[in-house]
Chain A
């Protein structure tokens, strides 16, 4: 619309503004800010909102972010989210008042956190309920569904976790990559089919990651606005990776495979976080069945990484590197999830993962289109649509093994 405005008048206006001195520009910055300050001062001084004061108690919110069960009892990390600072006055465990210490002590300002330590003789394998009672008598409940000792950062605990992480992340990707020689024998349609399969697989991961991110975001303190943070971090990651990936033109071959591995790696980080957290919360008597399910579920990922490489002939170390990039974050996720997971950071990480996956969906699709001489209609070819569908279905059906 602006394009059709009379060009003469437009340029005149612009030159008139730019002709003004920097001092006057500063003035026009200062005036609205000054007015804002004035309005704020007036609001605080005259307190016209007094009429809305109905005598209702302040809103109190408390989020339980972490929990540690050990030989000293129960430790909980809580974060306040009320309209005013809140004070935790008493602590119940299983409907009995218990002595507790708070670190740091005193009132909890909005968005600040503290650890609550309760010398409670918890019972392994059983359920406990902790209730924090604030100064106003409001209660906040935290359920310990199954009490087990929290993982500790000892080699005895980190090693088996790393093993599970490798089973969930590295092993399936490596096995998927081993289909490479077989895939190389495919013709052009076959390669396109595998690429489409990759897109289908990534689409599943995208929705899966977003769902998990949103779910964890719901557990975070409201002040973090974690749902919005998930959306923003994924868009930012998407835009950033697109920009980096296209510095030297659209990525192909090894570059594209690397981006796919990165996106999958971030997704596997989230998968590791989930399993690690399940360990920490006692949900993980983690059946071997479940671990095997994850392994099967993730094999398609290796095939996906291999698909852009079918025209090259990368060396073995490159394959190893790709497998580690895509799979090893699962190990890191296991450790973080069991030792230091806070919901807002987990949501952020999963958001970034979703953005990375979206980037590779776009790039792999673009790659397919380019292979068809830029003909976007090629995306509707039977082998493409069939590949996407098969990718989604494969992930969905193997997903049934791991959704509990």
Chain B
């Protein structure tokens, strides 16, 4: 009898035996085809009734039943993706004898179990106990001193995407340190733009996907860009022009929780579906600037698509004029990054979705909402 009980039937298989069945109706079991046919007919209905409920019924915006269950304990994690959006680490600022600004950052690598999706813990390697690590922000031409301490269990480093000497590169033999050791990276902040840093210990793939990466933003120095002073000033954190903007950092990442070389979860800023459950508040008539960085491992490309709106894009953020104008989707390969600028000033208030336009990433957690509201006076 039945090996075929446990056979894995392919779809094609079922179709061919279905043909056998249709052809054999004369042999006395004539009720069978009818039965199967009626089953199939009734399935059409089943499919319809099992469809996800409309958004108004579930309260999850436009996601229906297709979303992770529950919420992450941000307090226990020690970082909240909602706050992380605007949490810049500008370092300890002082003046050098030559008048230049010196910024000293302190970063420590540590092993930490974090909750990357509701109810799911991940044995992460972190910078300063958070994933992504601190968003380091400086101004073009500053002298940067990053005091890096390795409190983790493996060798780690900080490899900055920027311009620096080989001794400061964070690769083996140049600032890659063992557990308990310390290293000071020192270089000038250049070129201005939206960059990143990450651990360059080997194997790179593992150190990346375990959580060792962060944003590294260098604002343009308006004095060095006389022909585009206004634009440069709007990018300079703390300037009056910059205060007219709403700036967010989004690090697109993924987590391979079962270590099979494929991500089980995708997100911007680590927590799957966080911005779907906690939409990002945006004032309607204030322009938005997103520092978007892709550190997703295993998948070569990630992307961002903005609903109901278009944006200008500055690849790597190293120019003051857009490299792409009026697009609603941008893709980035691993470690690629850029700046998105857009506004909702002509929109009605409401929820506006954004997500990777790889449907798989979206449905595995990388989607969120802007909650566009009127300014309160």
Contact = CB atoms under 8 A, between A and B. Distances in A.
Interface of A: 69-73, 87, 89-92, 95-100, 119-127, 131, 133-139, 143, 145-146, 148-149, 156-157, 160, 163-164, 167, 208, 211-212, 215-216, 219, 267, 270-271, 273-275, 277-278, 281-283, 285-292, 294, 297, 337, 402-404
A135 B24 contact: no
Interface string B351-377: 000000000100111000000000000
Contacts of A274: 1-2, 4-5
B364 A97 contact: yes
B47 A288 contact: no
A283 B264 contact: no
A388 to B, nearest CB: 21
A117 B327 CA distance: 40
B10 interface: yes
A285 B121 CA distance: 43
Contact of B272 (A97, A127, A149): A97
B167 interface: no
A148 B273 CA distance: 31
Given A71-B49, A87-B119, A288-B21, A160 B258 contact: no
A67 to B, nearest CB: 13
Nearest to A171: B28
B69 A167 contact: no
B29 A288 contact: yes
Interface residues of B, number: 65
A73 B2 contact: no
Contacts of A122: 46-47, 50
Contact of A126 (B11, B42, B363): B11
A97 B66 contact: yes
Nearest to B68: A97
A85 to B, nearest CB: 14
A288 B120 contact: no
B304 to A, nearest CB: 19
A137 B40 contact: no
Nearest to B272: A97
A73 B50 contact: yes
Given A71-B49, A90-B68, A288-B25, A283 B364 contact: no
Nearest to A100: B69
Contact of A120 (B50, B122, B255, B273): B50
A224 to B, nearest CB: 16
Contact of B39 (A89, A148, A267): A148
B44 A124 contact: yes
Contacts of B53: 119
Interface in B1-53: 1-11, 13-15, 17-18, 20-21, 23-25, 27-29, 31-32, 35-36, 39-40, 42-53
23 contacts: A69-B46, A71-B45, A71-B46, A89-B70, A89-B119, A89-B120, A95-B364, A97-B66, A99-B66, A119-B65, A121-B51, A123-B47, A135-B119, A145-B8, A149-B42, A215-B6, A274-B1, A275-B2, A286-B17, A286-B32, A288-B25, A290-B17, A294-B1
Interface of B: 1-11, 13-15, 17-18, 20-21, 23-25, 27-29, 31-32, 35-36, 39-40, 42-53, 65-70, 117-122, 255, 257-258, 260, 264, 272-273, 360, 363-365
Task: Identify which of B9, B31, B45 gathers the most chain A CB atoms within 10 Å of its CB.
Answer: B9
Given A121-B51, A275-B2, A89 B364 contact: no
A395 to B, nearest CB: 11
Contacts of B1: 208, 212, 267, 270-271, 274, 294, 297, 402
Contacts of A212: 1-3, 5
A143 B47 contact: no
A163 B21 contact: no
Contacts of A136: 120-121, 257
B65 A99 contact: yes
Given A277-B2, A287-B17, 13 more contacts: A72-B50, A96-B360, A99-B69, A121-B51, A124-B46, A148-B43, A212-B3, A216-B6, A274-B5, A278-B4, A289-B21, A403-B3, A403-B4
A281 B4 contact: no
A285 B24 contact: no
A212 B5 CA distance: 9
Residue of B2, B122, B365 most packed against chain A (CB within 10 A): B2
Contacts of B66: 96-99
B39 A149 contact: yes
Contact of A292 (B24, B40, B51, B272): B24
Contacts of A133: 117, 120, 257, 264
B47 A281 contact: no
A286 B18 CA distance: 7
Shortest 7 CB-CB contacts between residues of A and residues of B: A137-B257, A274-B2, A288-B24, A89-B119, A96-B363, A287-B20, A124-B43
Nearest to A72: B50
A119 B50 contact: yes
B14 A167 contact: no
B120 A282 contact: no
Nearest to A102: B69
A230 to B, nearest CB: 15
A372 B152 CA distance: 83
Contacts of B24: 287-289, 292
Given A90-B118, A119-B65, A146-B9, A282 B4 contact: no
